[in-house]
Amino acid sequence: MMSKKWMIMFLFSFLFSGNNLSAQEVGDSLYPSFFADDELLKISLYFDITTHIRKKSEAYCDGQVVIYDSPADSTVFDVRCRARGNNRKDICFFPPVMLNFKPDSLFTTEGYLAKLKLVTHCVNSKMYEEYMLKEYLIYKLWELVSPYALRTRLLEINYYDIGERDKSYHCKGFFIEPLYMMTQRTKTVEIEGEYFHDAVINALDADRVAFFSYMIGNTDWRIKSSHNVKFIKPADESREEITAIPYDFDHAGLVNASYANPSEWSSAKTVTERDYTGRCRDYDDNYYLLIEEFMAIEEDVYETIMNFEHLDIRKRKAIYRYIVAFYKELKKPEAFIRNIRNSCMDRY
């Protein structure tokens, strides 16, 4: 008699065998970009969730993802799946997923996609889904601040287990744009490394990350050791001038996750307490310029927060008040600069 596990896999393969041709043929035409708009994207993901939850392994397993282009149309892609995320593998019942698409199967209007990071609900509860949605919102706020932003796409996901437990989950999550796709879009190149001389780091860009991190209450980043930052430089310049790109915001005060703590290099007592962890400067030019930049997008920030209907209005108002407190500080620039001078760091 066929085991339950193999019966599920047989039915799964049979169900989607008719769609596999379209998945292969998609390479002959361009698939729409995942990141060109903010409309909720519906997908189904089939893989060995039993092992994913139990072992949280970085070993890949086979699966398939179904992308619903419309209520009447879908496309199936073969993928390999594994757990990812150093901290979240320890924290999460359902850790984040790396999707590795079959070679030459997913050509989008913005380039070839090989790997996609999927941020999951982490734990099956409304509270943890709200954490995930708040982190997604932070990525959208960073897009208002800098052109060098990893874009995201919010997802409605049906997970189907082809492992032993045969469970299914219906949750939200989001894709994160691969860095190589962002560099193509911004005409930059990735720079790998953990330690850079101060002279090659773009000070204004680094301070912009520090301002944004202060705004959202995030100390879980550091240019030294490349902690939750990636590095790029202009593609058409031989001289290295490195720009830091922040990511991974679940420890921010705006999210206020129950498991989050301030970083060891921060003097903050709680994650909701703002602490400026940017590098100290012996000049104020960057500070004043960035205050102007952030003031110029104030209304856009509020609008992005209040229009984010995937969080209930009470949660949106709480985030709004948290950000308003930041802008109240900016509106007294001399006092704000004195404050960050008292908490800034002597090195990156």
* 203-261 pLDDT, tens digit each: 999 999 999 999 999 999 999 889 999 999 999 876 679 999 999 999 999 999 999 99
Q: Using the predicted structure, report yes or no on whether residue 170 has a pLDDT greater than 70.
A: yes
Q: What is the pLDDT of residue 336?
A: 98
Q: What is the DSSP letter of 40?
A: -
Residue-wise pLDDT for 66-100, tens only, equals: 999 887 889 999 999 999 987 888 889 999 999 99
DSSP string, 50-66: HHHHHH--SS-EEEEEE
pLDDT average, residue stretch 35-57: 93
**What whole-number distance in Å separates Cα of residue 204 and Cα of residue 253?**
24
Q: 348 or 154: whose pLDDT is higher?
A: 154
Residue-wise pLDDT for 259-318, tens only, equals: 999 999 999 999 999 999 999 999 999 999 999 999 999 999 999 999 999 999 999 999
Q: What is the pLDDT of residue 88?
A: 84
Pinpoint the alpha helices (H) of 30-125. Answer: 49-55, 86-91
137, with CB counted inside 10 A (0-12, 13-18, 19+), is buried
Q: What is the pLDDT of residue 291?
A: 98
Q: What is the pLDDT of residue 29?
A: 64
**What whole-number distance in Å separates Cα of residue 59 and Cα of residue 57?**
5
Q: What is the pLDDT of residue 60?
A: 93
Phi-psi region of 249 (alpha: psi -120 to 50; beta: other; left: phi over 0): alpha
pTM here is 0.91
**What whole-number distance in Å separates Cα of residue 108 and Cα of residue 45?**
19
Q: Using the predicted structure, report yes or no on whether residue 181 has a pLDDT greater than 90.
A: yes
Q: What is the pLDDT of residue 185?
A: 93
First to last CA, the chain: 62
Banded model confidence at residue 166, pLDDT cuts 50, 70, 90: confident
